[in-house]
Amino acid sequence: MTRVGCIWSFFFLFSLSLGWTRAQGQQPQTNFTRPVFHCGGDLVADSGFIGSEGFPSPYKPNSKCTWHITVPEGNVVMLHFRFFDLEADAQCRYDYLDVYNGKSNMMPKLGRFCGTFRPNNLVSSSNTMMLEMVSDEGTQGRGFVAYFSGEKPDDQRICKEKITKAQGEITTPNWPNEQYPAGVSCSWLITVEPDMVIQVMFNKFDLEPDSYCRYDHVAFYNGGERDRSRLIGKYCGDRVPEPIISSSNVMLVHFESDSSVTYNGFLATYTSVPHGSQIPSVDSGAGVGSVPSRPNVRPIAPARPAITTTTTKPPAPAPVPTRKTTPVKPTGRRVPGTTGQDRRPAVRRPIPQNPLCAKACKRNGSIKPSFCASEFVITGKVTSVTPGPGGVAHISVSLIKAYKQGRLTLTEVGEITSVKLVSQCKKCPLLRRGLNYIIMGQVDDEGRGTLEPGAFTAPYKAPHHRLLMNFKNQSC
């Protein structure tokens, strides 16, 4: 499906479910039409959609639009972006969306956003939120669409904390007894003495892995705003990050999980340290003292070429390649008196690759929509990954459980059931031999599972079985 087709399909679905009139706080109508997004406005409702002017058409140049969201008293505003496409810039100087924690731009800014990556969920501290979108005269994207809702402040999915102690701990919800919940948005604003900076070190780290950390992740910002230009780092997966240090005495830590699989979470400790302090690496230790001695020995290596036999046999290599280079090209034989280095290397023609594989590897959707759209859904251990022609990969999987089989062929040998898969791109999705995965996809005429770039795969852990069984027992 093309990018434009996906956008229109998205519109059709949410038009049927809610209707734009609900987003405007009016009474629902029975005749659902394509929603129309205006430049700014006051949205007073329990929940609804908000979008840039004219979406999905590109937004207008040289425009400034302001929206005010108000949900019932006693609630906070949660903003969840469904689509985001603004002109990209490292510092968001041209086209951008500012989100404020309140009803005006005099309130603290929750963040400034641009580019094509969807921002994290945003949560206000009151029942109001303000959005302001600015565009210049240059490049325009398609804009944005987001869903807002009023949530109770004590909802488990929302956690905010202001910390002023010189040292302390930060953990994901439910740590260490259970995995963190799905759909969580947590922020910690750490402030220490003015002449100090903040250093964070992770003791345990286990979040959903992704090449771009788009799903479950923790992000660190200099200062108190989630501004892209102030981002220190964004982390996910199970590799413990290096120690993180701020440039000032204020740091914002934001953790977010999406609505799919969850993991154990993290435990981090922070301390206030003087400006200019050295940060030890994660794997530093008693052996660090031996590191400086290595460079003193290694520089000898470049002297090797000077110790070769060029002084004893200078004429031999020189004339041979200049006089007799042509026989080497057709025959590939070594001319007497020459070395293998005198031959010209064979030039291999590049193998044609699937153009889809050249694009950034991005997962197309979350777990529930992917479950419903897939012909097969399995969990299993990858036993082999073999490259094939045209950049494909042939994958063998030892089956743990089949939640949807469809036309997928299961091969039983003794007590082991295996499955054959074909991935259009050997590195998208990336599956590693010896690891357990949740795998979803379609089936070809030979009964093999097929994986397109962006097919849903995720590392599998035992608690995911219950989630998948729930999907199996529900209607899509």
pTM exceeds 0.85: no
- pLDDT above 70 as % of the chain: 75
Question: Which of the listed residues 274, 306, 328 is the one where a domain comes to its end?
Answer: 274
Give 209: exposed, middle or buried? Use CB within 10 Å, 0-12, 13-18, 19+.
middle
pLDDT digits (tens, 9 = 90+) for 3-43: 444 454 444 444 434 444 344 444 444 455 567 899 999 99
Number of H helices, E strands in the chain: 7, 26
pLDDT digits (tens, 9 = 90+) for 90-125: 788 899 999 998 999 888 888 888 988 888 788 888
pLDDT digits (tens, 9 = 90+) for 197-244: 999 999 999 999 988 888 899 999 999 888 777 899 999 999 999 999
Q: Give yes or no: residues 397 and 468 share one domain.
A: yes
Task: Specify if 353 maps to a domain.
Answer: no
Q: Which of 19-23, 67-71, 182-186 has the lowest mean pLDDT?
A: 19-23
Task: Specify if 321 maps to a domain.
Answer: no
Question: Taking a C-beta distance cutoff of 8 angstroms, is the pair 409, 415 a contact?
Answer: no
pLDDT on residue 33: 59
CATH number at residue 244: 2.60.120.290
- pLDDT above 90 as % of the chain: 41
Q: Give yes or no: residues 129 and 201 share one domain.
A: no
Question: Which of the listed residues 241, 256, 274 is the one where a domain comes to its end?
Answer: 274
Q: What angle do CA 41, 186, 65 make, to 5 degrees?
A: 15
Q: What angle do CA 160, 165, 167 make, to 5 degrees?
A: 100
User: Domain span at residue 429?
Assistant: 363-473
Average pLDDT over residues 335-361: 54
Question: Which of the listed residues 151, 186, 210 is the one where a domain comes to its end?
Answer: 151
Average pLDDT over residues 401-424: 90
pLDDT on residue 39: 95
Q: Give yes or no: residues 101 and 241 share one domain.
A: no
Q: Give yes or no: residues 228 and 106 share one domain.
A: no
Q: Give yes or no: residues 15 and 69 share one domain.
A: yes
Q: Give yes or no: residues 27 and 147 share one domain.
A: yes
pLDDT digits (tens, 9 = 90+) for 279-326: 554 443 333 232 333 333 334 444 444 444 444 444 555 555 544 444
CATH number at residue 378: 2.40.50.120
Task: Specify if 325 maps to a domain.
Answer: no
**Position 68 confidence tier, pLDDT thresholds 50, 70, 90:** very high
Question: Taking a C-beta distance cutoff of 8 angstroms, is the pair 217, 226 a contact?
Answer: no
Q: Give yes or no: residues 16 and 142 share one domain.
A: yes
Q: Give yes or no: residues 30 and 117 share one domain.
A: yes
Task: Specify if 344 maps to a domain.
Answer: no
Q: Give yes or no: residues 268 and 163 share one domain.
A: yes
Domains held by the chain: number: 3
**Position 277 confidence tier, pLDDT thresholds 50, 70, 90:** low
For strand 416-423 and strand 449-451, is the pairing parallel, antiparallel, or unpaired?
Answer: parallel
Question: Taking a C-beta distance cutoff of 8 angstroms, is the pair 171, 247 a contact?
Answer: no
pLDDT on residue 106: 87
Average pLDDT over residues 254-280: 84
Task: Specify if 323 maps to a domain.
Answer: no
pLDDT on residue 227: 78
